[in-house]
Amino acid sequence: MQKDAAASTGIRYIAPASAEALVAGILGQYGVPEPDVATTAHCLVRADLRGVDTHGITRMPGYLERLDLGLIDPAPQLEPERVAPAVARLDGKNGLGFVVASRAVDEALAIAEESGVGLVGVVNSTHFGMAANYLLQAAERGYASLIFTNASPAMPPWGGRAALIGTSPFGAGFPAGAGGVPFILDMSPAVAARGKIRRALREGRSIPEGWALDENGRPTTDPEAALRGVVMPMGGPKGSGLSMLMDILCGVFTGAAFAGEVGDQYKVFDRPQWVGHFMLAIRPDLFLAREAISARMDAFVDRMKANPLADGFDEVMIAGEPEARLEAQRLREGIPYRAADLLPLVQRYAATGRPLPDGFEGLA
Amino acid sequence: MQKDAAASTGIRYIAPASAEALVAGILGQYGVPEPDVATTAHCLVRADLRGVDTHGITRMPGYLERLDLGLIDPAPQLEPERVAPAVARLDGKNGLGFVVASRAVDEALAIAEESGVGLVGVVNSTHFGMAANYLLQAAERGYASLIFTNASPAMPPWGGRAALIGTSPFGAGFPAGAGGVPFILDMSPAVAARGKIRRALREGRSIPEGWALDENGRPTTDPEAALRGVVMPMGGPKGSGLSMLMDILCGVFTGAAFAGEVGDQYKVFDRPQWVGHFMLAIRPDLFLAREAISARMDAFVDRMKANPLADGFDEVMIAGEPEARLEAQRLREGIPYRAADLLPLVQRYAATGRPLPDGFEGLA
């Protein structure tokens, strides 16, 4: 008994390849083609590597439930169509958002290589997880990008009190210089992401005041009440304006759902989510050679780091740098998971009849 | 005496055409060609119409001083060069930022018409005033846009305490539906724009806590101390990240100054400002017909406005709507200016020897 209790409350350090193998083993049971399994596993595990565990593998049961219900198509045929010389449209056909978004970014990069800039508008997608995945996909191949999605109602527009707009991330990336990491800005327009409230609930913690209103429009510190209510936009009209922008560009403009129509993956089970994305890629060597851009990016970072420090800080970091450091550390040391969070996944994996990947022993 | 005192402390309501005529009369003395005079006057007066008086005509002496010193070229030859099928470069040749930015947006719109999306990178520009001018330029011609600029050091990166990054606006726009106004998001990444601190200083008011640090890195409510110090980014790392993004895309990427190199127009008088801009235009009918987009935009706005109201609000508005209403009102009623703020302009105008435009009588 004692061993079981320890197993379900303790922390397990799992190697990224093992975590990907666990995800892949599960997804393989759902008819997801092998390359798409790999893409999805990579996106989920990379979120955990970067400390964005609200978008990591422990969120899998939500996706699996929608696969079970036929609300996510495990194997859509994705065929981007060029609608203008520098723009393509991609119908995601209700595929896994990771797969649809990755395919859209590939297409945006290909267009940017030809035209300098490439835009892909995506309809009929689903929750794509951590936006930084797609910013990194572009940055690691040497491109700048803007990655936007819309999302299910979670936040009121400024002045309102009912959930209507999403806490969709604003995503922007730029390739690293020779000496650093890429600039990866992946930020929620909410004071705090809903995923953080879900985690507080799972972990039995209260949330800070100012994060959310309950279902009656009153401030609350109870994560359960907050999840029934709304999270608040950061900076009032600013966060509200950013979220509206995501919904206009990803929904109104592309032809996807908008203004409250995107289905919540945890609440709407009678239809697909109808998420839209807006993926813009830019070749960085349009005005200066790649070497010059790389040297300028290094100079940019150096000047940021040379800034005298404010009280309570050890260092100035660029956007994405804390996550890149955590990723490097976790690539060496493994990803810490709460054993209890792994149990539902290990149980699903058991149906494959194959031995568990390294690190998951004794959890089934 | 009493009349003079009233004249210099009272409010004058000036018709927009009169305000533009005043600006035009002054700029005409500096060798600025007539179409560029009209562009500049329009941009400055429109800021006042929309209540963004920190970027309106009372800011003219700063631009005139730089024209006097030869740091702004009154009549640059602007020639965008296509560097990729969907991308152009524009050397602003240290022209007035209003003129350079308007020309860049024209080019981005022309490219977007052909390619679906058009990007213009601008170097050697100067302060371009209110970003909404260029968002409106695109939106009123039926295009979506992202309008970014970098700016002189005004804010520390998150974790630092010395001014290094700009309070450059994040600008995004989308055309109006049939029944409304365009979506115009023009927001500073700072808790409050420096212009608001300058206005507080002019008006003898203190500023709220949390807006700024003094030159020793301590919080201050004194606008004079704040202008010697730094304003703070909104949402900590989020505002800092947005400002870094503006500087990377407008500076590092285009070839303009970056990371503290952009000259402050009020402090650096031994060289031009070397501002960079990033202007992206998008044809909105890439995925759906214009009529459908227009109807969807109307539906978007209607759904925002149908949201139940939070305490203390009368209405939900989209970004740019409060400014559009003020503009409509001021187009009818005139723009209220403090007479004292108009005096320096009226004195400059007097050198033309022409009669003052309507509304300025008795101020010279």
Choose among A119, A172, A248: nearest Cβ to B245: A172
Locate A152 and state its tokens.
Answer: 């299910």
Q: Which of B252, B302, B313 to mutate to test the interface with A (most CBs of A within 10 A)?
A: B252
Q: E-strand spans in A294-359?
A: 335-338
Residue showing tokens 């533009």: B20
Average pLDDT over residues B131-147: 98
Locate A168 and state its tokens.
Answer: 């969709």
What per-residue confidence (pLDDT) applies to A2?
A: 40
What per-residue confidence (pLDDT) applies to A259?
A: 97
CA–CA dist A185, A136 (Å, integer): 10
Question: How far from each other are the two terminal CA atoms of chain A, in whole angstroms?
Answer: 14
Contact A234 B237 (CB under 8 A): no
Q: Which residues of A327-353 are buried (b: 16+ CB within 10 A; e: fewer)?
A: beebeeebbebbbebbeebbebbeeee
At A312-328, the pLDDT tens digits run: 889 999 999 999 999 99
Enter the ipTM. Answer: 0.94
What per-residue confidence (pLDDT) applies to B54?
A: 87
Q: Which range has the worst mean pLDDT, B97-106, B207-216, B241-250?
A: B207-216
Provide the residue ranges of all domains of chain B, joining segments of one domain with +: 1-68+334-364, 76-190+233-333
Within 10 A of B256 (CB to CB), how many other CB atoms are there?
Answer: 27
Average pLDDT over residues B214-241: 89
Contact B307 A121 (CB under 8 A): no
Residue B238 near chain A (CB below 8 Å): yes
What per-residue confidence (pLDDT) applies to A9?
A: 62
Average predicted confidence (pLDDT) for chain A: 94
The CATH number of the domain covering residues in B1-68+334-364 = 1.10.1530.10
Contact A310 B253 (CB under 8 A): no
CA–CA dist B142, B136 (Å, integer): 9
| pLDDT of B107 strictly over 60 | yes
What per-residue confidence (pLDDT) applies to B3?
A: 43
| pLDDT of A39 strictly over 90 | yes
Average pLDDT over residues A136-162: 96
Going by pLDDT thresholds of 50, 70 and 90, the confidence category of residue B228 is confident
Q: Residue B295 in contact with residue B177, Cβ under 8 Å?
A: yes
Q: Which chain B residues are closer than 8 Å to A122 by Cβ?
A: none
pLDDT top residue among A191 and A253? A253
| pLDDT of A342 strictly over 50 | yes
What per-residue confidence (pLDDT) applies to A3?
A: 42
At B246-288, the pLDDT tens digits run: 999 999 999 999 999 999 999 999 999 999 999 999 999 999 9
Q: Which chain A residues are closer than 8 Å to B244 by Cβ?
A: 183, 185, 300, 304, 318-319
One DSSP character per residue, B231-265 reads EPBTTTHHHHHHHHHHHIIIIITTTS--TT-SPPT
Residues 12 through 71 of chain A touching chain B, CB cutoff 8 Å:
none
What per-residue confidence (pLDDT) applies to A103?
A: 98
Question: Which CATH architecture is the domain A76-190+233-333 placed in?
Answer: 2-Layer Sandwich (3.30)
Strand-pair partners of B17:
none
Burial classification of residue A139, based on how many CB atoms lie within 10 Å of its CB (0-12 exposed, 13-18 middle, 19 or more buried): buried
CA–CA dist B87, B123 (Å, integer): 14
What per-residue confidence (pLDDT) applies to A5?
A: 43
Provide the percentage of residues in chain A whose pLDDT is more than 70.
98
Q: Which of A114, A115, A280 to mutate to test the interface with B (most CBs of B within 10 A)?
A: A115
CA–CA dist B142, B77 (Å, integer): 27
Contact A287 B253 (CB under 8 A): yes
Locate A278 and state its tokens.
Answer: 């807006």
Residue B114 near chain A (CB below 8 Å): yes
Going by pLDDT thresholds of 50, 70 and 90, the confidence category of residue A286 is very high
What per-residue confidence (pLDDT) applies to B9?
A: 62
Contact A259 B299 (CB under 8 A): yes
Q: Residue A230 in contact with residue A120, Cβ under 8 Å?
A: no
pTM of the model: 0.94
Average pLDDT over residues A333-349: 96
Going by pLDDT thresholds of 50, 70 and 90, the confidence category of residue B175 is very high
On the CB side of A12, CA atoms within 13 Å amount to 24
Average pLDDT over residues A10-29: 97
Residues 126 through 155 of chain A touching chain B, CB cutoff 8 Å:
144, 146
Query: Residue A114 in 3-state DSSP?
Result: helix
Instruction: Give the helix ranges, DSSP H, for A234-286.
Output: 237-247
Question: What is the tally of helices (H) and strands (E) in chain B?
Answer: 12, 11
Q: Which range has the worst mean pLDDT, A89-103, A313-327, B7-21, B121-135?
A: B7-21
Q: Residue A69 in contact with residue A91, Cβ under 8 Å?
A: no
Average pLDDT over residues B83-96: 98
Residue B309 near chain A (CB below 8 Å): yes
